[in-house]
Amino acid sequence: MGRYLLRRLLQLVPVFIGTTFLIYWLVWAVPGDPFAGKCGERRCPDQYIAFMTDKYHLDQNVFVQYANYMKNLLQGDFGQTFSQQEISDIIATAYPNTLKLALVALAIEAVVGLGAGVLTGLRRNGFLDNLVLVSTLFLIALPVFVVGFVLQWLLGVQWHIVKPTVSSEMRWSELIVPGFVLGSASVAYIARVARTSIAENRRADYVRTAIAKGLPMRRVVGVHLLRNSLIPVVTLLGTDLGALMGGAIVTEGIFQINGIGRSVYRAIVTKESATVVGIVVILVLVYLVMNLLVDLLYAALDPRIRYE
Amino acid sequence: MSDILVSEQSAPGSGGSGRPSGRLLEVDDLRVEFRTRDGVAKVINGVTYHVDAGETLAVLGESGSGKSVTAQTIMGILDTPPGFVTGGQVRFHGKDMLGMSSEERRRIRGEGIAMIFQDALSALNPVFTVGFQIAEQFRIRRGMGRAEAKKRAIDMLDQVKIPNAKGRFNNYPHQFSGGMRQRAMIAMSLALDPEVLIADEPTTALDVTVQAQIMDLLAELQRERQMGMILITHDLGVVADVADRIAVMYAGRIVEEADVYDLYAKPAHPYTIGLIDSIPRMDEKGQQLRTIKGLPPNLMNIPPGCPFNPRCPMAQPVCREKVPPLLQVGSGRASACHFAEELVNRD
């Protein structure tokens, strides 16, 4: 187990370097002039351009720039924007908001998705089953921005059940609707995976044994059946956290949440490559760590899996 | 709470809908059918047998003869759909279980009637330790604390002769060998001290040497605890040492029931004769093995008359017209053959 963990952590290094370089290079390759419009109507003074070019190594090739960037990053220095703002400050304000939103979405996925999956998996072809199948298909087919605008308009504008946008305090209660919007497609996938998994396992011999032991039905389902059916669901949930954070840009836009989606969008438009890379680097880290956690969770859920 | 229920159950013949007969467990004219997309399969067509405390009944038959489905119906673990009980009774202490509420039936499971299954690897939950699965019975059904339940579970593992029971408590089923797994399964089913144990082909998935050990263990535990045991098997060799009585099943019916000695000495049904003849014998080395010709009938389309008639070497015209009822032939034995008397009275 210890050796497995060490090997997996070492594997993260090349993956981390590869993905971050790719992102750095992509942002670097976007055409455009970082000084365009920087100095108002006029062209920027040559002195300023020379100073900035030297400071940010803009005349060097992409490899040198990347190496410089990584050197600073490893010392905890995300760098500054062209307007001297610390990128770590942008990250520090934007990330907690997005993380909060993603966690709400994840919780909704786990509770609603798993709940619907278990109920329908136990009673297939019933009314509830058909209702869930149709509504999940609906959620999967609809783009996030449609779900988002429709719910915002219905619940926020028409019925006044919630406020149409999220305030800067980011209260948990305000995040329920945006969280559902963000997780809407994933909720549907979770429900379907859980349903299949439960339906597959409920005829298993060990479930029959648990019934034959005279255990109450809620224990048969809640302990014996659920534990075995959770494995594919946990995988999906774990890897989804990264996807939710990266995919929050649309939801954040609709509900006016100051998260990383909006920051990245602004940074791309203004060609602030360091900001884009800084935010995405952390996103990559979230992905990698969640993947590792999911793999470790496998062993906890299924003792037959051994890590050597 | 469960103690009150136990004493209530144990009162013989308490308020049963059937005739109080003092029998521990009776299956009476049970009928089960499977409703599938291809049609209705009549899997159990009037099975009647019983088992009393301290005796072992072996239920013998080919695959598909309905022996396991009967057991599942007794336990209340029949898959519904497709399986439906269409008639008959299953009486425990004289009380019909098929008419009970699901909660009443649940309390009988494990405590009144317990069951062990053929393949212990798939029958034990792969993600919980063996110890957890045994201790669970004490914790959930008896309300014991963790520590006491663990002690009792280790004691059960000891009773089924698992070496180093304490150390094995935290092992998972896949860390056990086949024989040890079946022992753990037995320990689990006996945890609540059931009055009847149903063993559904308990040795089929095991090596021959291990088979004998498990059968010996079952026989010993049955004697010690004075349980009624229903041993379901297709292996005549397994039965001989352990069973008191044998019920032979064919196409969802009991075709013969007798004491072990009577049955082996003088089978009273052509199907039983065929089964006994097909046991390989050491003194007939080099000769071809004898088999029963033909296949068991399609349960969606059972032939008229005696269901065995297409395969029966003794079949007469009457066999194609009339279903032979299970009738007494001699003392304590019964056969469902039109020619049972002749078979019993031959030399």
What are the pLDDT digits (tens) for A229-285?
988 898 888 888 888 888 888 888 888 888 888 888 888 887 777 888 888 888 888
Sign for the pseudo-dihedral over CA of B259, B265, B266, B272: positive
What mean pLDDT, rounded, does chain A reach?
86
Chain B residue with Cα closest to A223? B128
Work out the average pLDDT over A206-214. Answer: 93
* Chain B neighbors of A213, CB-CB under 8 A: 109-110, 114, 136-137, 141, 188-189
Residue A82 has pLDDT above 80, yes or no: no
* Chain B neighbors of A217, CB-CB under 8 A: 106
Give the number of A-B residue pairs with CB atoms closer than 8 Å. 74
% of chain A beyond a pLDDT of 70: 98
- B172 contacts chain A (CB < 8 A): yes
Among B37, B113, B127, the strongest candidate for a mutation testing the A interface, having the largest count of A CBs within 10 A, is B127
- B77 contacts chain A (CB < 8 A): yes
Given this model, what pLDDT does residue B125 score? 93
- B230 contacts chain A (CB < 8 A): no
CB distance A45 to A53 below 8 Å: no
CB distance B116 to B182 below 8 Å: yes
Q: Whose CA is closest to B339, among B273, B263, B272, B268?
A: B268
* Chain B neighbors of A216, CB-CB under 8 A: 106, 140
Given this model, what pLDDT does residue B151 score? 93
As a whole number of angstroms, the distance between CA B208 and CA B210 comes to: 5
AA identity, residue A42:
R
* Chain A neighbors of B75, CB-CB under 8 A: 212
**φ, ψ for residue A85 (rounded to 5)?**
-85, 140
Chain B residue with Cα closest to A298? B127
AA identity, residue A230:
L
CB contact under 8 A, A228 and B172: no
As a whole number of angstroms, the distance between CA A253 and CA A263 comes to: 11
B residues 128..167 contacting A (CB < 8 A): 128-129, 136-137, 140-141
Confidence of residue A57 (pLDDT cuts 50, 70, 90): confident
Q: Which two tokens stand for residue B133?
A: 């699965």
Question: Along the 347 residues of chain B, how does pLDDT read in single tens digits?
Answer: 333 333 333 333 333 344 455 789 999 999 999 998 888 999 999 899 999 998 999 999 888 888 999 999 999 998 887 889 998 899 999 889 998 888 999 999 999 999 999 888 899 999 999 999 999 999 999 988 999 999 999 999 999 999 998 999 999 999 998 889 999 999 999 999 999 999 999 888 888 888 888 999 999 999 999 999 999 988 887 788 888 999 999 999 999 999 988 888 888 999 999 888 888 777 777 777 888 888 888 888 888 889 898 888 888 888 888 889 898 887 789 999 888 888 888 76
The distance of B227 to chain A (nearest Cα, Å) reads 17
B residues 185..204 contacting A (CB < 8 A): 188-189, 192
Q: Which two tokens stand for residue A262?
A: 């909006």
- Helix ranges (H only) for chain A are 2-29, 46-55, 62-74, 87-108, 114-122, 127-141, 144-151, 176-201, 205-212, 217-219, 226-246, 248-254, 260-269, 273-301
Among B1, B121, B125, the strongest candidate for a mutation testing the A interface, having the largest count of A CBs within 10 A, is B125
Whole-structure pTM value: 0.80
Among A209, A217, A234, the strongest candidate for a mutation testing the B interface, having the largest count of B CBs within 10 A, is A209
Cβ neighbours around B325 below 10 Å, total: 11
Question: Which region, left, alpha or beta, applies to residue A142 given φ > 0 means left and ψ of -120 to 50 means alpha?
Answer: beta
AA identity, residue B279:
I
The distance of B329 to chain A (nearest Cα, Å) reads 36
CB contact under 8 A, A214 and B192: yes
**φ, ψ for residue B198 (rounded to 5)?**
-100, 120
Residue range(s) of every CATH 1.10.3720.10 domain in chain A: 94-301
Which is more confidently placed, B52 or A61?
B52
* Chain B neighbors of A215, CB-CB under 8 A: 106, 136, 140-141
For domain A94-301, the question of CATH label 3.60.40.10 is answered with no
The distance of A294 to chain B (nearest Cα, Å) reads 17
Residues of A with CB under 8 A from a CB of B: 203-206, 208-217, 219, 224, 227-228, 301-304
Given this model, what pLDDT does residue A308 score? 61
The distance of A114 to chain B (nearest Cα, Å) reads 19
Look-up of token digits 């210890």: A2
B94 HSE (CA, 13 A, CB side):
13
Question: Which region, left, alpha or beta, applies to residue B6 given φ > 0 means left and ψ of -120 to 50 means alpha?
Answer: alpha
**Does the interface ipTM go beyond 0.90?**
no
Question: Do β-strands B228-233 and B196-200 pair in parallel, antiparallel, or remain unpaired?
Answer: parallel
Given this model, what pLDDT does residue A20 score? 87
pLDDT tens digits for range A103-135? 999 999 999 999 999 999 888 888 888 898 899
Chain A residue with Cα closest to B123? A206
Q: Which two tokens stand for residue A31?
A: 């055409």
Given this model, what pLDDT does residue B1 score? 36
Burial class of residue B257 in the structure, from the number of CB atoms within 10 Å of its CB (0-12 exposed, 13-18 middle, 19+ buried): buried
**φ, ψ for residue A175 (rounded to 5)?**
-90, -5
The distance of B192 to chain A (nearest Cα, Å) reads 9
- B119 contacts chain A (CB < 8 A): yes
**φ, ψ for residue B332 (rounded to 5)?**
65, 20
Sign for the pseudo-dihedral over CA of B180, B182, B185, B191: negative
Looking at the partner chain, which of B109, B126, B172 has a beta carbon nearest the beta carbon of A214? B109
B128 HSE (CA, 13 A, CB side):
22
